[in-house]
Amino acid sequence: MSSVKKIRVLRGSPEEVGEQLQENLERMLESTRRWAEILTFDPEPETGLTPKNIVWRKNKAKLYRYVNGEIKYRTPVLFIYALINKAYILDLTPGMSLIEHLVKEGFDVYLLDWGEFQWEDRDLRYDDFICDYIARAVRKVCQISGTESLSMAGYCMGGTMTTMYAALYSRPEVKNIVYIAAPIDFENAGLSSIWLKPPGFDPDKVADTYKLVPKEFIDTGVKMLKPVNNFWGTYTRLWKNIEEGVSIRSWKALNKWVNDNVHFPGAAYRQWIKEFYQENKLVKNEFRIKGQRVELKNIKSSLLVLAGENDHIVLPHQTKAILELSSSQDKEFHLFPVGHGGLVFGSVARNQVYPTIANWLAARS
């Protein structure tokens, strides 16, 4: 669709101004009608379109390997995403996809997609996700790629889980880690710390009541951290896109993802709220996976840490903490003028974040 023309400044006699005003109004009404038709009748845009193959499965989880004509960099890259929402935000639409960008740059890219948790998954803990899913996926990636090391990239909670894995497992070698808005230090998590502070908020009661915490419960809680922006801003951004001539497909794809949530296994939810947000065990070296202490000093990988200065879900200092807590010598921190999603979607992501990640990995792969 062509860009919407800007309204012209009105000049001239009252009659001429009236004619110009009428013309502008007609143009706006026509544009509004056309966009309304697209919003109402067009199907939801397809997402996750970068060609891929399923190379391993466990339960609902799938390990994807993305098809690439030529692999320039031998070290494979494994993406780990959070347990809520869907992983296709990393491969949203053609031209707006971090995975697509890395594949085109010649990287051997994998993604662990958790799938949609159901009632039988209610007792899954981080012990299971780290040892039975991520650890096995890592071995499979290295086996297929024929390497003894890999790079890992974690977005949001996926970065937290990547940290747990890297602190516990020395082989295969985690050569590089890319952190994308990943919470590590939960001491001051902004409004989340206030809302989830004990004894006012009881995660045991939530987990015991629901067993499998409904996606609607999680979605509402996250959106209420910034209700005006999340409930009304969605549509103000739409009208801004209309004015600027931005593709409606991009807006619809992002809106689809924002509302495409998954249930949260109650056992993992209990750990996430109590042991991370309320007790901050990870940075205190008190968090345990199957009885083994997770010590962040064990991490010696090269680190690329990315944060959004407007992120209200994961504050920049929460991610930056890994720079001091690990034993890594090769480490970089980049702060971008975006929110949580802006690190993987939008013009800043496409023009700044994607190249930053690609260039950093290329120099270490």
Catalytic residues: 156, 311, 340
**DSSP bridge pairs for 63:** 56, 112
The per-residue pLDDT of the chain, averaged, comes to 86
Q: 235 or 357: whose pLDDT is higher?
A: 357
Would you say residue 354 has pLDDT above 90?
Answer: yes
All domains of the chain in start order, with CATH: 52-362 (3.40.50.1820)
Backbone angles phi, psi at 60, to 5 degrees: -85, -15
- State pTM to two decimals: 0.83
Helix, strand, coil % (nearest 5) of the chain?
45, 15, 35
Q: What is the pLDDT of residues 118-149, one digit of tens each?
A: 999 999 999 999 999 999 999 999 999 999 99
Would you say residue 8 has pLDDT above 60?
Answer: no
> What is the pairing mode between strands 149-155 and 173-180?
parallel
Q: What is the pLDDT of residues 173-193, one digit of tens each?
A: 999 999 999 999 999 888 887
**Are the beta carbons of 349 and 89 closer than 8 angstroms?**
no
Per-range mean pLDDT, top range of 90-94, 156-160, 343-347: 156-160
Q: What is the pLDDT of residues 236-253, one digit of tens each?
A: 455 455 444 446 676 777
Of 225-229, 248-252, 259-263, which range is least confident?
Answer: 225-229
Average pLDDT over residues 5-13: 53
